[in-house]
Amino acid sequence: MPDANATPISSAPLVVNYGGGVNSTALLVGMRERGERPDMIVFADTGGERPETYAYLDVMDSWLLRAGFPPIERVRWIRKDGTFLSLEDWCLKHGQLPSLAYGMKGCSVKWKAQPVDKHVKMRYPNGAVRCLGYDALESHRVNRGTDGGLWAWRYPLVEWNWTRRECGEAIERAGLPVSAKSACFFCPASKPHEVVNLRREHPALADRALAIEDAGAAYSAVSVGLGRSWRWRDVLDSDAAQVDMFRSPPDSPCGCYDG
């Protein structure tokens, strides 16, 4: 049943779930171009984001200040005992891979959706309009509807018919660098060429990802490794042996909850 105390949609606060990637950055640029100002911009930190993403948050905060927008609020999944356990540490502690490697979305729900939802609800208990950065070619993901009348979901890029191309163009118009792919450095949605690039650009992170893969090796027969049907270690061993098998198209979103 709808919440009788919910704020009417027309006057509800506007909240942007910011993922640090191309789509959610373009969403903010598009709002600026249209004279819309969000009341909150929130980013969920799993503790395992790529270094480029953390650096880009600072770039965006500078741009947001110039645009007259609020700064990015960073949230994390805090356990009942008040401590934070990163997704990486959770995987190592339990000897499991991120749930995406098993075909599930638990890691995205617990480390992204839940902390963002909790943060927004604390600030706006009577409701808000939540904006997600799904582009016009991801309209199949537009299925969240409403949350019991507490808040409504909005998809500005779909409204504007912006695909990945229009998003990149908008970012360039704003004078911003185009952000790198936003995802955990050990994300099971990574393509083989992305795994190779991780080793070349951030060898220490690649080693940490392999530690996760090794720790979860015996957990489930559903997945043979971080690539689900393939092991990151095999890809990196092949690359080390100079077997160039992994030429792939440009990066695309990982498909996780963008928040």
Three-state SS at 93: helix
Per-residue model confidence (pLDDT) at position 219: 80
Task: Map out the domains of the chain with their CATH numbers.
Answer: 9-173 (3.40.50.620), 192-240 (no CATH)
> Which burial class, exposed, middle or buried, applies to 145 when counting CB atoms under 10 A from its CB (0-12, 13-18, 19+)?
exposed
Which pLDDT band holds residue 252 (cuts at 50, 70, 90)? low
Ordered alpha helix ranges (H), 34-160: 51-67, 87-94, 106-108, 114-123, 156-159
Which tens digits make up the pLDDT trace of 81-123?
Answer: 999 999 999 999 999 999 999 989 888 999 999 999 999 999 9
For the ranges 1-5, 184-188, 194-198, the lowest mean pLDDT is seen at 1-5
Which pLDDT band holds residue 10 (cuts at 50, 70, 90)? low
For the ranges 7-11, 46-50, 189-193, the lowest mean pLDDT is seen at 7-11
Ordered alpha helix ranges (H), the chain: 22-33, 51-67, 87-94, 106-108, 114-123, 156-159, 164-173, 192-201, 203-215, 232-240
* Strongest mean pLDDT among 17-31, 136-150, 220-234: 17-31
Q: Which two tokens stand for residue 112?
A: 């992204």
This prediction's pTM: 0.86
Which pLDDT band holds residue 251 (cuts at 50, 70, 90)? low
